Structure 1
Amino acid sequence: MAATKVLVVDDSLTMRALISGALERIPNVEVVGLADGAEEARALVERLRPDVMTLDVEMPGISGLQYLAELMEVRPMPVIMFSTRTAAGAQDTVEALRLGAIECFPKPKVAVPAELEKIIAKLGRCIKAAKGATLRKAASPASHAILPQIEWNGRVLAIGGDAASTKTIFDLLGSFPANCPPTIVVQHLNEDVAAAMVGKLDMKVAARVVMAEDGMAIEQGSIYYAPPGEAHLVVDGSVPPRLRLLSRDPVAGARPSISVLFASLARSVGADTVGLRLNEGDDGTSGLDAMATSDGYCIKPNPAGGFELSKKTMTQAIIEPELARMVLKLCSR
């Protein structure tokens, strides 16, 4: 198998050496170039044709976010961002993910190899998974046409994703009307980034976006985000259904777990569910299977591109630009 070629972009000589040294220790990963900023990176991208780029958010001159936006417009490619751990850094992380970055890692506070040991395994998995990924241009957060209001049929929408799903989530929820179906989201993000994500979505989309709390009744026109940390988010069988936070062990390495949320909806709501899985990986598979068993609608990524809708023996391909329209159709009379 050919090695995954990586270009490292950071204005700090020390950080370039630190990141490239860590990457070179990952099997089948080759650092093909180092750039100190956007101008040098432009030339190296054309000459070296890397599979993946690591990019510093906070660079002088053309910032990492500015260059990422440019890159996704002219030559989309998998980009992994490095950012600070500050509140401003969390906001930058959300913007980077919205623009199309596949992951964003905290920049080490101290430029020593031991600091990168904490993330090296996950970084390696991200780089290898990113190779050959099909990417599309990012849209402006204000550019989505809001679809017409719906006559809700009672179905509940559950969405599962990871950091790389951020752009799709902005596109999808940005198209929802203010009276969208009750929507519950489990997205694998760290705590500060999740809070920033909820805040930005609530400002940008027509519906209300909140961090889920134990005992909340799910309502039309609201989007509930699972809080990261120590609990799984589930839906109980009360009338109306309510959100519950359960302190349980991680499932498929995740807490909160996509599968746990999906399975709880299969039990409590049954066929009146639409499960939308945006990411690949272990978390989400068993939950989507539970929804299928309860005759719910299941949507997952299609290896050929876009998504695949299934219910019982029926399957239908969905191109990504039509995803929001199809989801709202399933939740409308």
Structure 2
Amino acid sequence: MKKIRVVVVDDSALVRGLLTEIINRQKDMECVGAANDPLIAREMIRDLNPDVITLDIEMPRMDGIDFLSRLMRLRPMPVVMISTLTERGAEVTMRALELGAVDFVAKPRIGLADGINELAGQIVEKIRIAASAHIRRVSLPNPSSMAASGNASGGAQRAEPISLGRVSTEKLICIGASTGGTEAIKEILMRMPADSPGIVITQHMPPGFTTSFAARLNTLCQITVQEAVNGGRVLPGHAYIAPGGKQFRIDKSGANYVCVVEDGEAVNRHKPSVEVLFKSAARVVGRNAFGIMLTGMGGDGAKAMREMKDAGSYNYVQDEASCIVFGMPREAILHGAADEVLPLLDIAGALLSRLGSTSDRYRV
């Protein structure tokens, strides 16, 4: 068996030792090197040619974000970030995912040794996923062009303002994603006009990170993006993201859709789970729903997406070529849940065309 070769980059000797031990306990992977700063890591990557690196953020001589930016420009490879669970850590992690990191693990601020050992299963699972991920070279605009365009994020440009007209408030767009999903969701939401139907989203993410994710998207999009709040009404021109560590579903109160956020059991090992959101859409929204399944590992949401389709929804699934990980889209396709399988950058346009072609009947 060919083992996954991993280089660990962290300025803490304790963390380097723990991660090395965790990785080397696995039959299918080995830690081939451990560096205490990015400059040493650069030489190790060149000499050892690893399959995956784990990367800390705060390090001497060059922080992890600067190093990641250069790495993804010059030698794209799978990276799993090791991020401290703080407000700043969450914001910086969102930036790392924008730059091309496959995923991240939130390490505790206190009880570091016990905390990392408790996360061992999650760490090695994410390394395995990263090793099979489709990595693309990230091309970042120079600072002057970013300033000229007013886009300091270095990401996709804000979509040109368009209008759908008055679309029925019964319409609802439901999105599910996991690994690679933060950037995929951004690409879709940035193309949605201010008068789009309400959007509800489940992205696999731990507590403490979805607030920063929603806030970052809100600065980039024409629609309003926020974390879902229990009992909150779903409004047109708004997107609601499932809070990390909670289950999120949709219900109806009179003529309105409302968010239900609760501390339910994990479903398909996930909390939040796409299955929970999509099942509620099949039951509550029916033929007024549009489903979108994006990049992610596993099969969460596939069965429920088929339930949505059987209830009359129209569903889009991201194609393999544009996915970081094709697991969730593949399962949705195998379950017969897809009406269209499209490249990521075509999904929003196809959805808007379909919404536009039906909006006349709902104009007031």
1:103-118 equivalences under 5 Å are 103-109=103-109, 113-118=113-118
Note if 1:331 corresponds to 2:330.
no
1:216 corresponds in structure 2 to: 232
Bigger share in helix: 2
1:22 corresponds in structure 2 to: 22
Deviation of the 1:142 alpha carbon? 5.1
Note if 1:300 corresponds to 2:312.
no
The whole-number CA distance in structure 2 between the counterparts of 1:214 and 1:187 is 17
CA offsets per residue over residues 75-103 of structure 1, 9 Å max, x none? 22211111222221121122122222222
2:172 corresponds in structure 1 to: 156
2:187 corresponds in structure 1 to: 171
Deviation of the 1:290 alpha carbon? 0.8
The whole-number CA distance in structure 2 between the counterparts of 1:256 and 1:111 is 26
C-alpha distance 248-48 of structure 1, shift in aligned 2 (>3 A): same
1:195-206 equivalences under 5 Å are 195-206=211-222
The whole-number CA distance in structure 2 between the counterparts of 1:230 and 1:224 is 13
C-alpha distance 238-76 of structure 1, shift in aligned 2 (>3 A): farther
The whole-number CA distance in structure 1 between the counterparts of 2:155 and 2:130 is 27
1:1-20 equivalences under 5 Å are 1-20=1-20
Q: In the alignment, is the contact (CA less than 8 A) between 2:291 and 2:316 conserved in 1?
A: yes
2:280 corresponds in structure 1 to: 264
Deviation of the 1:230 alpha carbon? 4.4
The whole-number CA distance in structure 2 between the counterparts of 1:112 and 1:194 is 23
Q: Tell me the percent identity.
A: 29
The whole-number CA distance in structure 1 between the counterparts of 2:297 and 2:47 is 31
1:85 corresponds in structure 2 to: 85
Note if 1:38 corresponds to 2:51.
no
2:257 is paired with a residue whose SS is coil
1:51 corresponds in structure 2 to: 51
1:57-136 equivalences under 5 Å are 57-109=57-109, 113-136=113-136
Q: In the alignment, is the contact (CA less than 8 A) between 1:234 and 1:260 conserved in 2?
A: no
Q: In the alignment, is the contact (CA less than 8 A) between 2:316 and 2:341 conserved in 1?
A: no
Q: Which residue identity does 2:49 align to in structure 1?
A: R
Deviation of the 1:332 alpha carbon? 2.5
C-alpha distance 73-322 of structure 1, shift in aligned 2 (>3 A): farther
Query: Unaligned regions of 5+ residues in structure 2, if any?
Result: 141-152, 324-328, 358-364
C-alpha distance 142-282 of structure 1, shift in aligned 2 (>3 A): closer
2:241 corresponds in structure 1 to: 225
Q: Which residue identity does 1:302 align to in structure 2?
A: D
2:312 is paired with a residue whose SS is coil
The whole-number CA distance in structure 2 between the counterparts of 1:300 and 1:135 is 20
C-alpha distance 111-237 of structure 1, shift in aligned 2 (>3 A): closer
The whole-number CA distance in structure 1 between the counterparts of 2:48 and 2:281 is 48
The whole-number CA distance in structure 2 between the counterparts of 1:68 and 1:145 is 24
CA offsets per residue over residues 48-81 of structure 1, 9 Å max, x none? 2211110011112221011112222222221111
1:241 is paired with a residue whose SS is strand
The whole-number CA distance in structure 2 between the counterparts of 1:312 and 1:12 is 48
1:177 is paired with a residue whose SS is coil
Q: Which residue identity does 2:212 align to in structure 1?
A: A
1:40 is paired with a residue whose SS is helix
CA-atom RMSD in angstroms: 2.7
Deviation of the 1:275 alpha carbon? 1.2
Q: In the alignment, is the contact (CA less than 8 A) between 1:156 and 1:274 conserved in 2?
A: yes
The whole-number CA distance in structure 1 between the counterparts of 2:92 and 2:343 is 29
C-alpha distance 7-111 of structure 1, shift in aligned 2 (>3 A): farther
Q: 2:298 aligns with which of 270, 281, 284?
A: 281
Which is worse superposed, 27-36 or 238-247?
Answer: 238-247
The whole-number CA distance in structure 2 between the counterparts of 1:48 and 1:215 is 53
Q: In the alignment, is the contact (CA less than 8 A) between 1:18 and 1:112 conserved in 2?
A: no
1:233 is paired with a residue whose SS is strand
Q: In the alignment, is the contact (CA less than 8 A) between 1:97 and 1:163 conserved in 2?
A: no
Q: In the alignment, is the contact (CA less than 8 A) between 2:9 and 2:36 conserved in 1?
A: yes
The whole-number CA distance in structure 1 between the counterparts of 2:338 and 2:121 is 39
Q: Which residue identity does 1:181 align to in structure 2?
A: P
CA offsets per residue over residues 190-235 of structure 1, 9 Å max, x none? 2211111112211222211122223323222101112233443223
Q: Output the TM-score relative to the length of structure 2.
A: 0.82
CA offsets per residue over residues 141-173 of structure 1, 9 Å max, x none? 554241442316443111112353112122222
CA offsets per residue over residues 129-152 of structure 1, 9 Å max, x none? 221311224464554241442316
Aligned length: 333
Q: In the alignment, is the contact (CA less than 8 A) between 1:228 and 1:255 conserved in 2?
A: yes
Q: 2:307 aligns with which of 276, 281, 290?
A: 290
2:157 is paired with a residue whose SS is coil
